[in-house]
A and B are shown apart, each in its own frame.
Chain A
Amino acid sequence: MNTEAITAPARLRLGDQARLASVGIRSRPLRAALSALGIAIGVAAIVAVLGLSSSSQAGLLAEIDRLGTNLLKATNGQTLSGKEAQLPREAPARLSMLDPVEQVAHVGTVADAKAYRSPLVPATHTNGLQIRAASLNLPSVIATGIAHGRWLNEASATKPVTVLGATAAQRMGIDRVYPGQRVWLGGQWFYVAGILRPAVLTTEIDTSALIGYPAARQYLNHTGVSNGKPADGHPSTVYVRAVTERVGAVQSVLARTANPKAAGEVDVSQPSDALTARAAAEGAFNSLFLGLGAVALIVGAVGVANIMIISVLERRSEIGLRRALGATRRQIRTQFLAEAVALALIGGAVGVTAGVAATAVYAKTQGWAVVIPVESWVGGIASAILIGALAGLLPAIRAARLSPTEALRTV
């Protein structure tokens, strides 16, 4: 007989390798599942953290898109001596003359007047609410709407009628509007006409009770002087919608235009900045949770290594038999290494599925688009494979080192 034909070791086909790798998993499925669970939890945590932060970021960016980044805000700042400055009464009109400016709205904070549910509420319980006179186009400019009731009109703006911001209504305990409903503003009953939806870009509106400028002048003494005659009060904040491409240009001249005599007393800001910053800050939590995911992965790896070592001890006779059937040391090593990788891979796949599912469910409840970054699941699977290989290496080497006679002697 030909010596070569007898003594050349045969290579195992890939399908046979896969079948061998699954021997331990098929013979003890529960144990395999539990040891894969650790890795599944780690991978799920990593995928979910990355997916959730990406989805919430996408949600915020979509929100920013909806609200627009072209809103600018000019607020009365402080004078040199530290007192509260005043915006000129003409500021809104002047700003609307700037070419790239599309819309201008304004509110005036009514000084020394507080808003209460009723006169029985102690004066100190202001709930942090303010009374503001508002121009009639305010809701459209700040991109909010009416949740209940109606917004002010030319007529109601002259009467003791108010529209509450979302937070103001909540703090006063008002969740719907009915005829004859009143609140106590600045020592005077005002009828509640409506409640606004949350104004995400301009949260100061949420904590306001909004009334018309004429009403503020007539009932709450919010007055100014125009050409020597009494007139409506000063605005304290002017909201400007500009052509998106020229927001920067408008921003640079906003203070000067609003108050040419004292540009330094005007604070200018872009409210969407805060949201953009929040979107950027979404990543801040990540490192903490990714760290937790990594810890879970390491614990999972220890679990897999542990199971593989026990498995090698328990399956000595299988190892001995396979050596007797003609397996080389390398084939035994490959079998156990592949089994550890298969375990980890199953854990990784389950983890990715769970992470994606968690992200999808949470994003749905928040109304975000579901975004799973490719690197999160590719990284999850890859780290599972790596961890399986690392965890399986020592047990596989031990299995291969076992001499066949020693392996057969046990039992």
Chain B
Amino acid sequence: MTEQPAFPFPAARPVLELAAVTKTYGEQPPVSALRGVSLTVRQGELVAVVGPSGSGKTTLLHVMGTLERPTDGVVRINGIDIADLDDQQLAAVRARSIGFVFQQFFLAAHTTALENVADGLLYAGVEVGERRRRAAEALEQVGLAHRRRFRPGKMSGGERQRVAIARALVGRPAILLADEPTGNLDSTNGASIVALLHRLNAEGATILVITHDSELAARLPRQVHVLDGRIVSDSAADATVGGRR
């Protein structure tokens, strides 16, 4: 893959690299969810991957997040080729280098916002006192310091998604992958989440948002359009760089 000048930090280190990634499900007939995707996300970027449902963007998220291995092609996280890692090491990569935010939040209902955020550090081997201390910081960062003792059930959808974002960011991952982060929110709450993502990005977080909402995508600095398992356009590069080979 040739080096492309990337917006906004051309010289920044790549944190996520996909090269000619394909993903095929099933045997007969095989279903191709990804058909040769190449994409580089550099440190400090805020990227939207946008496409209609069925375009393969959720599979792309799973492959980028190392939840699934590609059928073919190369995936590098922080320069490490995940093909060289076994399942346990992949889990460790997720624990330390990748943060996930889901449309459904996936918060534990029986415990507090603070504990939910602290769980983001559990599998990185951080001791419980330190987990809580850093969770409190992360909650402050997303503007929910006053809600740390609340259970998710007592919070609004926007607040819940902020808790989920705090949980994803508490381990200072190399990249934050957000899957339809505003999908379950009304427009006001959605806008505030987008504003939060902008602010966190300005503070240094690398964020990739997957969405079907092109309006939301338009508000982010870089848009990557996906259709039928291919990248059809990438605002940060020539249209040819995407996936048409």
- A411, B104: Cβ atoms closer than 8 Å: yes
Q: Inside 8 A of B106's CB, which chain A residues have their CB?
A: 317-318, 320-321
Residue A227 lies at the interface, judged by CB distance under 8 Å to chain B: no
Q: Does A123 contact B (CB under 8 A)?
A: no
A326 on the B face (CB < 8 A): yes
Contact check, B94 vs A324: say whether CB atoms are below 8 A apart: yes
Q: How far is A13 from B125 in the complex, measured between Cα atoms in Å?
A: 8
Question: Which residues A309-346 have CB closer than 8 A to chain B?
Answer: 317-318, 320-331
Complex Cα–Cα for A23 and B108 (A): 9
Assuming A6-B80, A6-B96, is B122 touching A16 (CB within 8 A)?
Answer: yes
Residue pair B123, A326 in contact (C-beta under 8 Å):
yes
Query: Chain A's nearest CB lies how many Å from the CB of B92?
Result: 4
Q: Which A-chain residue is minimally distant from B131 (CB atoms)?
A: A16
Given contacts A3-B80, A9-B91, contact A324 B125 (CB under 8 A): no
Cross-chain contact B128 with A16 (CB below 8 angstroms): yes
Q: Is the CB of A325 within 8 A of B123?
A: yes
| Contact A328/B88 with A6-B78, A10-B123 known, Cβ cut-off 8 Å | yes
When chains A and B are docked, how far (Å) is the Cα of A330 from the Cα of B86? 13
A410 to chain B, nearest CB (A): 10
Q: Tell me which of B80, B87, B88, B123 contacts A322 (CB under 8 A).
A: B123
Looking at the complex, which one of B97, B98, B109, B125 makes contact with A11 (CB distance below 8 Å)? Answer: B125
* Interfacial residues of chain A within 1-37, with CB under 8 A of chain B in the complex: 1, 3, 5-13, 15-16, 19-20, 23, 26-27
Determine the distance from Cα of A274 to Cα of B118 in the docked complex, in whole angstroms: 69
Interface residues on B, range: 35 or more
A148 to B58, CA, bound (A): 93
- Asked if residues B67 and A323 are in contact (CB atoms below 8 Å), the reply is yes
* A323 contact from B78, B91, B92, Cβ within 8 A: B91
The residue in B78, B102, B123, B167 that gathers the most chain A C-beta atoms within 10 A of its C-beta is B123
Query: Counting CB contacts under 8 A, is B36 at the interface?
Result: no
In the complex the two chains form, is A408's CB within 8 Å of B127's CB?
no
Q: Give residues of chain B (194-210) contacting chain A, Cβ–Cβ below 8 Å.
A: none
Check A324–B96 contact: CB distance below 8 A. no
| A127 interface hit (Cβ, 8 Å) | no
Chain B nearest CB, measured from A407 CB (Å): 9
A405: which B residues are within 8 A, CB to CB? 62, 67-68
Q: Which residues of B sit under 8 angstroms from A16, Cβ to Cβ? A: 122, 128
Cβ of B93 within 8 Å of any chain A Cβ, yes or no, is yes
Contacts of A317 in B (CB 8 A): 104, 106
A392 in the interface, Cβ–Cβ < 8 Å? no
Interface flags, A383-411, vs B, CB<8A=1, else 0: 00000000000000000000111001001
Instruction: Say if the beta carbon of B12 comes within 8 Å of chain A.
Output: no
Contact in complex: A15, B128 (CB < 8 Å): yes
Q: Are A9 and B88 touching (Cβ within 8 A)?
A: yes
B105 CB to closest chain A CB, in angstroms?
10
Interface assignment of B120: CB less than 8 Å from any CB of chain A: yes
A326, chain B: closest CB distance, angstroms: 2
Does B237 sit at the interface, judged by CB under 8 A? no
Residue from B79, B96, B123 in contact with A327 in the complex, judged by beta carbons closer than 8 Å: B123
Contacts of A26 in B (CB 8 A): 110-111
**Minimum C-beta distance from B83 to chain A (A):** 13
Chain B residues whose CB sits within 8 angstroms of the CB of A327 once the complex forms: 91, 95, 122-123
Rounded to whole Å, the gap between the CB of A146 and the closest CB of chain B is 68
**Interchain CB contact (< 8 A) of A325 among B68, B87, B95, B128:** B95
- B124 close to A326 (CB less than 8 A): yes
Cα-based distance from A33 to B167 in the complex (angstroms)? 31
Query: Once bound together, how far apart are the Cα atoms of A318 and B102, in whole Å?
Result: 12
Within the complex, the shortest CB–CB distance from B75 to chain A, in Å, comes to 14
Contact, CB under 8 Å: A324 / B88 = no
B229 at the interface (CB under 8 A from A): no
CB neighbours of A27 from chain B (8 A):
108-110
Identify A6's interface contact among B62, B92, B102, B120, CB under 8 A.
B92
List 7 additional contacts besides A15-B128, A23-B110, A320-B106; criterion CB under 8 Å: A9-B92, A323-B91, A324-B100, A326-B123, A327-B122, A330-B88, A405-B67
Sample of 18 A–B contacts (CB below 8 Å): A1-B79, A7-B80, A7-B89, A9-B89, A9-B95, A9-B123, A15-B128, A16-B122, A27-B109, A322-B123, A324-B94, A325-B100, A326-B92, A326-B123, A330-B88, A403-B68, A405-B62, A408-B67
- Of all A-B residue pairs in the complex, the 10 with the closest CB atoms, nearest first, are A326-B95, A10-B125, A326-B123, A27-B110, A7-B89, A326-B94, A328-B91, A321-B106, A9-B92, A404-B67
* Interface, chain A (partner B; CB < 8 A): 1, 3, 5-13, 15-16, 19-20, 23, 26-27, 317-318, 320-331, 403-405, 408, 411
B-side residues, CB < 8 A to A, are 62, 65, 67-68, 78-80, 85, 87-89, 91-98, 100, 102, 104, 106, 108-111, 119-120, 122-125, 127-128, 167
